[in-house]
Amino acid sequence: MFEHLAGQVGVFDFRAAPGRYYAPRAVGESVEEIEVVLAGRGRFRMRDGDADAGPGSALWFLPGEAVEVWADAATPYECVVFRFNVSARPAVVLPGLSAWADPVECDRFCRGALALFRSGQSTAEHFAWCHYARLFWEATEFVRRGRRDRMPPALRRAVEFVGTEAATPLSVADIAAHAGVSVPHLFSLFRREFGVAPMKYVNRLRVQRAQELFRTGRDSVKEVCHQVGIPNPRNFCKVFRRINGMSPRQYRQRFAESAGPGSGGRRQGGDPS
């Protein structure tokens, strides 16, 4: 999914001046930039319209786009900026503005990433993959929360059902019965809303849960695959690799190499460009 990543340029912090307008600053043709607001407010000009951003907001700038901001006069924004080298535009283009469900966790993650980058404890490749994956996950969760509010009732019932039962043996017929629709209609609902068949959606949830288990525990691949609802290790590894572009062992190794205690550092008060 993240084949376009070629490395991480860096992680920087930035504090805007009260009421200042920041004229358009071009993002490089081979750079993707995500600015995450930790405090204060600012109005960002995005590809899908102007966006008022506060704590927990993430602003995604694709290669060749420009960063243009109006800082709030009373509470100017403070942010952490993630810059990635990329070889192409991302396969999945997320909304320009998204928001973390938990601003406190957002602050913890961003400050930890900043400290880790300053400490020089990991390679650019490891930084790029782990940081980008977490930012991408939070943005897709934001999209999913919004979609759920607008879903047809039958699809909402199906999504809530698989969200709680994904770790159990499930069939398309089970999901359709719980949603109260026919199997063909269920396929139509999932393809129209998510662009995938129902079981592919279920497997994405299972892999997301597996990623969490690999990050937070030491259970073997065989143990994890049973916990998430794909009891055959070979099938699990095949699904995991198709979604993540790497094996479960590679995923766990990359995360382990990129994790670790960070150190603090000076705060940069200027424009990170």
Q: What is the C-alpha R_g of the chain?
A: 20
**Which residue did the predictor score with more confidence, 260 or 63?**
63
Cα distances from 230 to residues 101, 185, 197, in angstroms, run 28, 25, 17
Question: Which amino acid is present at 147?
Answer: R
Summary mean pLDDT of the chain: 85
The pLDDT of 53-59, averaged and rounded, is 93
Between CA 236 and CA 244, with CA 242 as vertex, the angle to 5 degrees is 95
**Which residue did the predictor score with more confidence, 109 or 192?**
109
Tell me: pLDDT of 264 over 90.
Answer: no
Express each pLDDT in 115-173 by its tens digit. 888 887 655 567 778 899 999 999 998 887 776 667 788 998 998 899 889 899 999 99
CA atoms of 136 and 103, how far apart (whole Å): 16
Tell me the domains of the chain and their CATH numbers.
5-123 (2.60.120.280), 151-257 (1.10.10.60)
| Residue 263's pLDDT band (cuts 50, 70, 90) | very low
Task: Give percent above pLDDT 70 in the chain.
Answer: 89
Express each pLDDT in 171-205 by its tens digit. 999 999 999 999 999 999 998 877 889 999 899 88
